[in-house]
Amino acid sequence: MDVQAALGRARQVIAVVMTPKLLAGIGNDRADELGDERTREAVARFDWIGADGAVDAALLGQAKDAVELLRSDRAVLHVGRITALPLDAGARQQVSTAVVRLVFDRLGPSRRVPESTLNAALAMLVADVALVRRDAVDAGVLTRSADGSAYALRAE
């Protein structure tokens, strides 16, 4: 299953449900009554709706499966590493903090880990390990030993 394509379909379904013009356009055999050209073009791009307005249940089933997958513990196996962190420092720290908390959830939150172990765990999720680690220290989420060789998650 192409998770990204399936998630794209799930996003389209949500957009349709939230947008009365799009919802009215689905299955409408009177194309001239659809309203503006943008609405007609948007509906035409949905690969899960046939020209006759019939919904492809198999494709939407894949979208449902993709959403369920991303809600599971296996999600990390189906998404790539974060290769581009936000440029805005505040937004980047939020991402870095979330990644570090996830890593320590898996390593054990009360554990003190060597830098090499932390780096290896972070590298599974992000490309720029040093930046994420530094952001987490700067944000006060991680504490570093005096010699810099070990890290621990700061208790909340």
Report the CATH fold assignment for 89-153.
Arc Repressor Mutant, subunit A (1.10.10)
Rounded CA separation 4/143 (Å): 36
Q: What is the pLDDT of residues 2-59, one digit of tens each?
A: 777 888 888 888 887 777 777 776 655 554 555 667 777 777 788 888 877 788 888 8
CATH 1.10.10.10 domain range(s) in the chain: 89-153
Rounded CA separation 37/27 (Å): 16
Q: What is the pLDDT of residues 107-153, one digit of tens each?
A: 887 789 999 999 999 999 999 999 999 999 999 999 999 999 999 99
Rounded CA separation 130/116 (Å): 11
End-to-end CA distance of the chain: 39
In DSSP terms, which residues pair with 143 in a beta bridge? 152
- Tokens 């290769």 locate to 83
- State both tokens at 47: 């690969």
Question: What pTM did the predictor assign?
Answer: 0.61
